[in-house]
Homo-oligomer: A and B are copies of this chain.
Amino acid sequence: MRKSKEGKEETRRLIVDVAARMFKSQGIGATGVGEIMANAGMTHGAFYRHFSSKEELVAEASATSMAAFVEAAEAASAAGPEAFVKYLQDYLTTEYRDGKLGGCPVVQTGGELALGDQATRQGVSDGLERLIELGVELTDGSAAAKADVIFTMSAMLGAITVSRLVSDPALSKAVLEVVKRRLAAPTEPATPAAPAKSKAKRATASA
């Protein structure tokens, strides 16, 4: 059942894409090679025609995930700063929080990636650096702007993580909305009475 040369490259991409999706929804360690291949419509034996080890796939799937995330961000930023902010804001939604597809691999697998091998970490690191550069390019390029971008990125990533862990649905949603609101108006001072939305108020009542 040999495939053509183009067919092989296509199969390899398929495996990477399936793996990237599964790693993001189940974690890396919890996703087996056989499971990935079955979801790609093959048996496990074919895996080693494309990769020398699972770790090689992990590195490629993570890098591909990050690159896709960055490229989508670049496409959004090409449509203007508003489109870029809108693109980022879509990640701070319950749909993305609960979604099993797409997005940045760091959300689910950040811990595992930090313990990955050199190639894996480099691919993820490159994606993160490109993301920061992209944000800086969209602003005035100053050191303060870079700090803004880093702060915003950190807050978004942390917010999604916290939101996924908190049991109270209202609080979980409020976590996303708090960060989303500040992302939309990053220069607004934080402490003076903010125009709290109804959902944030509901969550606050439980505290």
Q: Which residues of A contact B (CB under 8 A)?
A: 26-27, 29-30, 106-115, 121-122, 124-126, 128-129, 132-133, 136, 139, 142-148, 150-151, 153-159, 161-162, 164-168, 171, 174-175, 178-179, 181-182, 186-194, 196, 200-201, 203-204, 207
Contact = CB atoms under 8 A, between A and B. Distances in A.
Contacts of A132: 171, 207
Contact of A191 (B26, B165, B175, B187): B187
A158 B144 CA distance: 19
Contact of A162 (B128, B168, B179): B128
A153 B143 contact: no
Contacts of A174: 150
Most buried by B among A30, A110, A142: A110
Contacts of A122: 167
Given A126-B167, A148-B191, 17 more contacts: A106-B165, A110-B111, A111-B161, A114-B164, A121-B165, A122-B167, A125-B167, A125-B168, A139-B191, A144-B194, A150-B162, A150-B178, A151-B155, A151-B159, A151-B182, A157-B158, A189-B189
29 contacts: A27-B115, A29-B29, A30-B115, A106-B161, A109-B111, A110-B111, A110-B161, A110-B164, A110-B165, A114-B164, A128-B165, A128-B166, A129-B207, A133-B207, A143-B194, A143-B204, A147-B178, A147-B200, A148-B190, A151-B178, A153-B162, A154-B154, A154-B175, A157-B161, A157-B162, A158-B158, A158-B159, A186-B190, A187-B189
